[in-house]
Amino acid sequence: MNKEEILAKAQKENKGKDIEKDEADTKSGAIATVVSAIYAGIMFFIELFLTDTYNFSLWAAVTVMNTVINIYMFIRLKKKTYLFAAIVWALWSVGLTIMAISGFVSESTVL
C-alpha cells in the first residue's frame, strides 16, 4: 500500500468523526478521574481531622470508577495492560468497600 492509499483509507475511516471532540472526551475523562481522586483525598482528611473517624466510601467510589474505565478500555482495545489494571483496581475496590461497610457497621446506631 502506498502513501496515497493509506491516506485515503484513513480519511474514509474517519469520515464524519470529530477527532478533536474524541480527544477532548478522552482528556476530560482523565482529568475528571484525577480531580475525583484529589477531592476524595481532601474529604477523607477533613473528615479525619474534624471527627477523628474515617470513611473509605469515597475512595471505594474512585477505585470503582477506575475499574470501569480500565474494563471498558480492555474491551475496546484488547490490551492486556488494561485488563491487569482493571483487576488491580477491582481488588482495591473490594478491599475499600469492605473497609467502608465495616466502618458503617461499627458506627451504626441501628445494628
Would you state the pLDDT for residue 66? 92
Would you state the pLDDT for residue 26? 82
Are the CB atoms for 70 and 86 separated by under 8 Å? yes
Least Cα distance to 80 among 29, 23, 61, 88 occurs for: 88
The single residue listed with the C-alpha cell 474517519 is 14
Would you state the pLDDT for residue 61? 92
Name the H helices within 14-79.
Answer: 19-51, 57-77
Whether this prediction's pTM lies above 0.75 is answered by no
**Rounded mean pLDDT, 3-7:** 80
DSSP state of 52: S
C-alpha cell at 82: 488494561
Would you state the pLDDT for residue 13? 75
Q: Which residue has the higher pLDDT, 92 or 19?
A: 92
Taking only the tens place, the pLDDT of each residue in 40-91 is 899 999 988 998 888 899 899 999 999 999 999 899 989 999 999 999 999 9
Would you state the pLDDT for residue 64? 95
CA separation for the pair 7, 106 (Å, rounded): 63
Inter-axis angle of helices 57-77 and 19-51, nearest 10:
160
CA separation for the pair 92, 103 (Å, rounded): 16
Would you state the pLDDT for residue 72? 92
CA separation for the pair 66, 74 (Å, rounded): 12
Taking only the tens place, the pLDDT of each residue in 84-110 is 999 999 999 999 999 999 988 988 888
